Chains A and B, each alone.
Chain A
Amino acid sequence: MSKKYSLLVKGASGTHVLSRITSLFMKNQVIIDKLDYTNIKTDAAQFSIQAISDEKRMNSIVNQINNIIEINNVTVKYI
């Protein structure tokens, strides 16, 4: 069953990091509902993402985001 999820992703800044995260949503055919990118310091950024998906696919995306070397932390919650 599809639900709306909110992801808070913390990691290095840079458009290539943003691209790598969004490419995972594209590959999994999950449409991003809302995306907020914030530089929190020189080399660190926070990506706030909302998307609708089923739990299995969202878990898979979260695990794949965790594999990105520039990512430090991902928290996900159902909203």
Chain B
Amino acid sequence: MSKEHNTLLQGSEIFLKSLMREGVDTIFGYPGGAIMPLYDTLYSYSNELNHILVRHEQGAVHAAQGYARATGKVGVCFATAGPGATNFITGITDARMDNTPIICVTAQVNSDKLGTDFFQEADIMGLSIPITKWSFQITSASQIEEVLIKAFYIATSGRPGPVLISFTRNAQVEMAKMESNRKAVINNLIDRDTASKKILQGANISDKIYQACSMLNAAKKPLIIAGQGVLISHCEKTVTEMSQKANIPVVTTLLGLSAINNDFKNYYGNVGMHGHLAPNAMTQEADVIISVGMRFSDRVIGNPNDYAPHAKIIQIDIDNAQFNRNIDVDLPLLGDAAQITKAMLPHMEYKDRSDWFNYADSVKAHEDHDVIPEQLKATEDNRLTMGAVMDKISKTFKENLLLVSDVGQNQMFAARFSKFYKPSSWITSGGLGTMGFGLPAAIGAKMGQPERDVVAVMGDGGFQMNMQELGTIMQNRIDVKIVILNNTYLGMVRQWQELFFDKRYSFTHLMNPDFEKLAAAYGIEYFRATNGKGLEEGTEKMKASKSAFFLEVDVEEQENVFPMIAPGASVSDIMESQS
């Protein structure tokens, strides 16, 4: 029995000890009135808990997301009540969409003042319920231990996601004992977890697994689509083995990027709105598609009525709610991707599919020879393209690159032109598409993976949404490499205005600050590249730098991302280029 069992402790101390019991050593946060007791206790635990003071609460959530995505552990962030709590909302929603396990702790006014519109009272429970996996308001110190045990279980079990804990001020200062039995609490949760029970049953679906293997073994044109679930369940090797053993091409989704080593011979790139040509073409030709941990989002399927018209679809997903949501699935396999793929592997048989691979190779060769070189070539007035920058970044950092993108054209060019050689080398905001995600997420990723070369690639628009986090980088000496693809436009919106709104460029041109002076103000080394030679010099300087580095690259202002499947269009109608 631990010493704490019989000792009365302040609620805030129980809270921090409970976090440490769950393995937490890093917290991203921002203090304020209602959370001051917790921060006061945190002051005494500064050797055990590394608190990163951000510059805005949104930055704290995105940093926690970056940390979680880079490490596979739970990210933790703190904010005060009211505006501190509401500033969490975007990041929480982002984490929900992209299955990221984070614990968001917001302070709340004293429980006897709830509902009185007290200073900085916001109904964060009401606000957060639709966007969290679970949320709970702690009104008494005696609840803390059990709530935190539950919070970590829920954030990480099944389809991972964000949990919000609203921590009233009185509970932070009340005294209580630490006497919960963690194992008993978790066993009780497992007993009650209806979704998990179904998954356990799902893991024993040997007949369905056999059926899936039979479908794939008999297929002439099968395709494996690896989604984020492959990374979450750590079945990257099994999926690669499955592809190798059964001789089936494999592609990824935007969030599944880096699940498969890009040098693997059966790998063809990523599907979706701005994906590679071969994966999208194969989708439309395939006779059997097996998706592993992906949800067939609208950005992948385009027009659902013309998606994969010849294919029987097998979907592996841990969340029952994802089946038949956007498209009809022929064989749903409910369960953990690692368990199911492992069970499938012995039944997979090699089959010669030369014609199918020849088709994929021919489409890939067309893209490699006819499309990509044009996208890498400087423009007539010698302006760099975004593709050329990303190609250079990828080749400079190679296997050690952990690339964090923002949202928009920068994201799509980064996905298109970067190569990934090991899992969790790519972090982006997929489902919600949150501009401003990149910089704080890169901070979190670097805190979680200090040995990796963490590069944040952003547009000039997205960077300015959370550029205050340069202060976090400065104060904590975080070695994040910042790459700004500066086209003085909200590039993706401008592209859509050009293509779908008669070139009516409504409020997408940006007048930007002097980024060199901005970097200097934060003491960050800076380089500006305006041509190929400058890009070469800038990336080498950035790689050699042992601290944060700010590389601004002037790129072609009106470049568009291609290939592109217009919103709602068939995947078959992918546009290869502007003409």
Q: Does the CB pair B324–A69 fall under 8 Å?
A: no
Q: Does the CB pair A66–B195 fall under 8 Å?
A: yes
Is B129 on the interface with A (CB-CB < 8 A)?
A: yes
Is B158 on the interface with A (CB-CB < 8 A)?
A: yes
Is A34 on the interface with B (CB-CB < 8 A)?
A: no
B112-129 vs A, Cβ < 8 Å mask (1 yes, 0 no) = 000000000000011001
Q: Does the CB pair A69–B125 fall under 8 Å?
A: no
Which of A19-64 touch B at CB < 8 Å? 19-20, 23, 26-27, 56, 59-60, 63-64
Which of A61-76 touch B at CB < 8 Å? 63-64, 66-67, 69-74
Is A77 on the interface with B (CB-CB < 8 A)?
A: no
Set of chain B residues within 8 Å of A26, measured between Cβ atoms: 130
List the B residue with the shortest CB-CB distance to A19.
B129
Give Cα A22–Cα B198 distance, bound, in whole angstroms: 23
Give Cα A56–Cα B320 distance, bound, in whole angstroms: 13
Set of chain A residues within 8 Å of B319, measured between Cβ atoms: 63, 67
Choose from A63, A69, A74 the contact partner of B192 (Cβ within 8 Å): A69
Q: Does the CB pair B195–A67 fall under 8 Å?
A: yes
Choose from B194, B320, B323 the contact partner of A71 (Cβ within 8 Å): B194
Set of chain B residues within 8 Å of A20, measured between Cβ atoms: 129
Set of chain B residues within 8 Å of A64, measured between Cβ atoms: 321
Choose from B130, B189, B321 the contact partner of A69 (Cβ within 8 Å): B189
Residue of A19, A27, A60, A63 with most chain B CB atoms under a 10 A cut-off: A63
Set of chain B residues within 8 Å of A56, measured between Cβ atoms: 324
Choose from B133, B136, B194 the contact partner of A66 (Cβ within 8 Å): B194
Q: Does the CB pair A72–B130 fall under 8 Å?
A: no
B183 to chain A, nearest CB (A): 18
- With A69-B154, A69-B189 as contacts: A63 and B129 at CB distance below 8 Å: no
Set of chain B residues within 8 Å of A16, measured between Cβ atoms: 125, 129, 135-137
Is B134 on the interface with A (CB-CB < 8 A)?
A: yes
B372-396 vs A, Cβ < 8 Å mask (1 yes, 0 no) = 0000000000000000000000000
Give Cα A69–Cα B188 distance, bound, in whole angstroms: 11
Q: Does the CB pair B320–A66 fall under 8 Å?
A: yes
B37 to chain A, nearest CB (A): 24
Is B310 on the interface with A (CB-CB < 8 A)?
A: no
Give Cα A72–Cα B198 distance, bound, in whole angstroms: 12
Q: Does the CB pair B129–A67 fall under 8 Å?
A: no
Q: Does the CB pair A23–B321 fall under 8 Å?
A: no
Set of chain A residues within 8 Å of B136, measured between Cβ atoms: 16
Is B40 on the interface with A (CB-CB < 8 A)?
A: no
Q: Does the CB pair A60–B321 fall under 8 Å?
A: yes
A50 to chain B, nearest CB (A): 21
B140 to chain A, nearest CB (A): 15
Give Cα A69–Cα B157 distance, bound, in whole angstroms: 10
Give Cα A12–Cα B321 distance, bound, in whole angstroms: 21
Is B325 on the interface with A (CB-CB < 8 A)?
A: yes
Is B193 on the interface with A (CB-CB < 8 A)?
A: yes
Give Cα A74–Cα B195 distance, bound, in whole angstroms: 11
Set of chain A residues within 8 Å of B189, measured between Cβ atoms: 69
Which of B172-190 touch A at CB < 8 Å? 189
Give Cα A60–Cα B158 distance, bound, in whole angstroms: 17
Set of chain B residues within 8 Å of A70, measured between Cβ atoms: 192
B441 to chain A, nearest CB (A): 26
Set of chain A residues within 8 Å of B158, measured between Cβ atoms: 67
List the A residue with the shortest CB-CB distance to B321.
A63
B126-155 vs A, Cβ < 8 Å mask (1 yes, 0 no) = 100110011111000000000000100010
Set of chain A residues within 8 Å of B324, measured between Cβ atoms: 56, 59-60
Choose from B150, B159, B194, B320 the contact partner of A72 (Cβ within 8 Å): B194
Set of chain A residues within 8 Å of B321, measured between Cβ atoms: 60, 63-64, 66-67
B153-167 vs A, Cβ < 8 Å mask (1 yes, 0 no) = 010001100000000
21 contacts between A and B (CB under 8 A): A16-B125, A16-B129, A16-B135, A16-B136, A20-B129, A23-B130, A56-B324, A59-B324, A60-B321, A60-B324, A64-B321, A66-B195, A67-B158, A67-B195, A67-B321, A69-B133, A69-B193, A69-B195, A70-B192, A72-B192, A72-B194
Task: Spell out A's residues near B (CB within 8 Å).
Answer: 12, 16, 19-20, 23, 26-27, 56, 59-60, 63-64, 66-67, 69-74
* New contact pairs (5) apart from A56-B324, A69-B192, A69-B195, CB-CB < 8 Å: A12-B192, A19-B125, A63-B319, A66-B195, A69-B133
